[in-house]
Each structure stands twice: as C-alpha cells, then as structure tokens.
A = this chain, B = another copy of it.
C-alpha cells in the first residue's frame, strides 16, 4: 500500500496516512504551510527534567506542546492527533542506544508517557525559499547535514549532551537575509547560532556530518549553522536515559499550527 504524497495537503491528512500505515517515509514538503515538529516521548519520571532541559535550551528545543501524562493527544499542536501512530517512523532509545525503529508505538505506550512536540526547521526553510534564499540540501534532494558541536547544552537533571547544529551554505548577502528571516521564527530554532568559522564549533571536516547528508560549500559561500532538533537524540546518547522515544530524522509529526502562526514581527 502506498500513498500519493501530492494528495496530502493538510496536517490531518498526513497524520491519518501515518495512522493507516501508508506513509512510512520522510515528510519534507508535505502539507505545505503546516508546521512540522520533532517528537520526544519520555516516562513521567524523566519528563520533568526534560521540560527543564527544554526551558534552558530553547534554541535546539523550542517547545510547541507538551502532553498530559498518559495522553497521546497534543492539545495545542494537534487536538485530533495521536502521538502513538502519527509519525511515519519512530526510534526507540534504551540506555542511550538506538534499540529499534518502529512504524508505531501502540504496543509500547504507557500510562506515564509524556510527549514533547518541538519546533522543526522545515518552517523556516519554507520562509527562506519564499524569499528566494536557496536551501542547498533541498536543491540537492538530500537530508540537511547536521553536526555534533563542542558546545554543551545547559544540563538539567539527568539530561546533558552536546548541541547539534544543522548547516546551510549561503552567499554572504543571503546569510544576512537568512539571519533576518529566521529571527522571525524563534519557535523553530530562530536565528543561526554561528556562521563562517566551523572550527570554532569543533567541526573538523564540514564534508563529514554526524547526521544527515553532506552538501557542497562553494568558495563564495559561508557555512551557516542553526541549533537543531536532533539535539535530544544526541542528548539521549550522552545521558543514557533508560527509555526515550523520538521520531526518526526527517519523519516528522505534522501539527495543525501554521508556519506563519509561529512567526513573530
């Protein structure tokens, strides 16, 4: 069973396709205008620490919604959503190791699970494209390159680990425009955290990302770095919580929030 991606015009249609088991792949470009989100699910005894972690690290972990313990419904982001089924592919982390990937987590669900819905850069990439700022990995049809940095997140309880950044190469004037545009979207990582000097982030080889795919950086371009929603997965590897469930990179949760609802100014 497959699905016609072009027929998935709303967030709810994407969620229902996931729930029916017919969408198992990355969600880039689906339901244009609806904000896509990173997902983290934790047992309640870890959730308070993670909530504080997000509060202290709003650039990589801008929270759009948090569920009540045991509820799979994110009331603000998608009142008709179901966090057990509505993501194309899930990752289950046990003791900091990727234990398995699953199509849904119905069998794993527990009464004490808390879901965290975290803003995703797809929202600001759409804004960049509308402003004619080219996004290399979209042009090349690959995943955005992501790097572990030497910048530690601010720890909270059991959670600690490195900031992960995504990178988009841009000509200087486009980089300036990209700062302006993405500054309008603090709920989806906001302005870049760095540009131009990757070695300052501890990135030794820009052509070898830690996650995602490599893209070329031309001699007239600067690498521009944004805080990335994959940070919680690097935190899982570093902090080794007994259980954490996330989306699989690129396979996002579709919210009913519109990209432009998340803009300030």
Contact = CB atoms under 8 A, between A and B. Distances in A.
Interface of A: 172-173, 175-176, 179-180, 183, 191-197, 200, 220, 222, 265
Chain A, interface SS category? mixed
Contacts of A197: 172, 220, 222
A196 B173 contact: no
> What 10 A-B pairs come out closest when comparing CB atoms?
A179-B179, A196-B196, A172-B194, A196-B222, A180-B183, A172-B195, A176-B192, A176-B179, A265-B265, A172-B196
A200 B172 contact: yes
Nearest to A198: B172
A195 B194 contact: no
Given A195-B196, A197-B220, 14 more contacts: A172-B195, A172-B197, A172-B200, A175-B196, A176-B194, A179-B179, A179-B180, A179-B191, A180-B191, A195-B222, A196-B196, A196-B222, A197-B222, A265-B265
B220 A195 contact: no
A192 to B, nearest CB: 5
9 contacts: A173-B193, A175-B196, A176-B195, A179-B191, A180-B183, A180-B191, A183-B183, A197-B220, A265-B265
A175 B225 CA distance: 13
A165 to B, nearest CB: 12
Contacts of A191: 176, 179-180
Contacts of A195: 172, 175-176, 195-196, 222
Nearest to A201: B172
Contacts of A180: 179-180, 183, 191
Contacts of A183: 180, 183
A236 to B, nearest CB: 26
Name the residue in A172, A175, A192, A222 with the highest tally of chain B Cβ atoms < 10 Å from its Cβ: A172
A224 to B, nearest CB: 9
A220 B200 contact: yes
Contacts of A176: 179, 191-195
Contacts of A192: 176
A166 to B, nearest CB: 15
A171 B23 CA distance: 44
Name the residue in A192, A195, A220 with the highest tally of chain B Cβ atoms < 10 Å from its Cβ: A195
Contacts of A196: 172, 175, 195-196, 222
Nearest to A219: B197
A172 to B, nearest CB: 5
